[in-house]
Amino acid sequence: MLRQGLILLSDSDLARRIATSAPGAKTVARRFVAGETVEDGITAAGALNRAGFKVTLDYLGESVERREEAQAAADTYLDLIDRIQSEGLDANVSLKLTQMGQDIDDAFLRANVGRVLERARAADMFVRFDMESSRHTQRTIDFFRTAWDEGRTNCGLVLQSYMRRSEEDVRMANRLGARVRLCKGAYREPPEVAYQDKPDVDANFVLLMKLLLAEGNYPGIATHDDAMIRATRAFAEERSIPADAFEFQMLYGVRRDRQNVLRDAGYRVRIYVPFGEAWYPYLMRRMAERPANMYFIVKAVLAESPFSFLVRDGREPG
């Protein structure tokens, strides 16, 4: 119930207006969002690289309905790619197709994203297409297939283990040799298209993880769930899959303790670093994925209130 409530709030304009105008809201969000500008994202990426982590940078935004806004988002990515290259960062980029104009016009979307893919290819950089709600799943995969078939193979997909169709999509990507980020999923979906119970989502995650590690091309296993991490490590060891054949991926500000443990154990760890003004829906979905993140938010609010004495220490939530 808590997860569904948080997902509903992520789509609420009223809740967004209240939350984003609250005193200290941006300060709290900075735990999970690097800031609002390209410079903020680049600064966070540099710090993570120096700490031994790879990075993917994401300019927040989705469901864009105006061409000028979608073009501006693509322009931001062009700037971002240039900055990553000029700074020599170990980083790539992730983007959402609805931010690029998917709900405006297919030809416009192809041209707009095409600019980003070409700039990234010139920089020898990878671009990940984030997966959004099920309403866009087939269209996102179709767009990816078109780009791939046109020779733009510097792009890859995100696939979600709560989606019932994902095994078929993973097998398709494996046949192509395309790179996949596997995550659980964080949108409110109907039972006919998505598993509703955590044990089912987890079981499918393990199934898809094994397919990707055994047959895929450098997959990203995106999870903060200790059980999923243990299952991934155990399968890699059982099949003698080397640590440089895949990477764990985690979100900026989430389970930093676990990020360090995996890095220190010799695994490649990539941190997904979001930035931009559209941080509210992103933050709500992160809490829906892992309600323990709410601990940090409550703690941060208390620290700036008359009840700051209730905040006892700075330990990471479990």
The pLDDT of residue 22 is above 80: no
Which pLDDT value is given to residue 25? 55
pLDDT tier at 96 (50, 70, 90 boundaries)? very high
The pLDDT of residue 12 is above 60: no
pLDDT tier at 106 (50, 70, 90 boundaries)? very high
Give 194-217 pLDDT, tens digit per residue: 999 999 999 999 999 999 999 999
In a domain, 243, yes or no: yes
The pLDDT of residue 6 is above 60: no
Give 112-128 pLDDT, tens digit per residue: 999 999 999 999 999 99
Cα Rg for the chain, rounded, in angstroms? 19
Q: Does residue 178 contact residue 140 with C-beta atoms inside 8 Å? A: no
Which pLDDT value is given to residue 188? 83
Which pLDDT value is given to residue 277? 84
| DSSP label of 194 | B
Cα dihedral 205, 281, 246, 149 sign:
positive
Measured CA angle at 245 (ends 237, 148), to 5 deg: 140
Q: Does residue 78 contact residue 123 with C-beta atoms inside 8 Å? A: no
Torsion of CA 66, 5, 28, 260, to 10 degrees: -100
Cα-based distances in Å from 114 to 48, 81, 152, 281: 29, 14, 9, 26
The closest of 48, 40, 31 to 303, measured between CA atoms, is: 31
pLDDT tier at 254 (50, 70, 90 boundaries)? confident
Domain that holds residue 181: 33-278
Which pLDDT value is given to residue 294? 54
Cα dihedral 233, 290, 186, 188 sign:
positive
Which pLDDT value is given to residue 171? 98
Give 154-164 pLDDT, tens digit per residue: 999 999 999 99
| Element counts in the chain: helices (H) and strands (E) | 13, 8
13-21 and 280-289 are packed helices; what angle lies between their axes, rounded to 10 degrees? 100
In a domain, 110, yes or no: yes
The pLDDT of residue 249 is above 90: yes
The pLDDT of residue 271 is above 60: yes
The pLDDT of residue 85 is above 50: yes
Which pLDDT value is given to residue 288? 62
Which pLDDT value is given to residue 234? 98
Tell me if residue 84 falls in helix, strand or coil: helix
Which pLDDT value is given to residue 289? 57
Which pLDDT value is given to residue 286? 62
Give 175-185 pLDDT, tens digit per residue: 999 999 999 99
C-beta atoms surrounding 53 within 10 Å: 23
The residues assigned a catalytic role are 130, 181
d(CA 118, CA 105): 20
Tell me if residue 72 falls in helix, strand or coil: helix
In a domain, 298, yes or no: no
Domain count, the chain: 1
CATH code at position 159:
3.20.20.220
In a domain, 2, yes or no: no
Q: How many percent of the chain have pLDDT more than 70? A: 79
Tokens 């930035």: give the residue. Answer: 275
Q: How far is CA 59 from the centre of its chain?
A: 11
Which pLDDT value is given to residue 314? 39
Q: Does residue 47 contact residue 263 with C-beta atoms inside 8 Å? A: no
Which pLDDT value is given to residue 186? 78
| Residues facing 182 on adjacent strands | 159, 221
In a domain, 123, yes or no: yes
Least confident span in 103-117, 147-161, 260-274, 278-292: 278-292
In a domain, 306, yes or no: no
Which pLDDT value is given to residue 129? 98
d(CA 40, CA 45): 9
In a domain, 220, yes or no: yes
pLDDT averaged over every residue in the chain: 86
Q: Which amino acid is at 48?
A: L
The closest of 159, 165, 161, 158 to 192, measured between CA atoms, is: 165
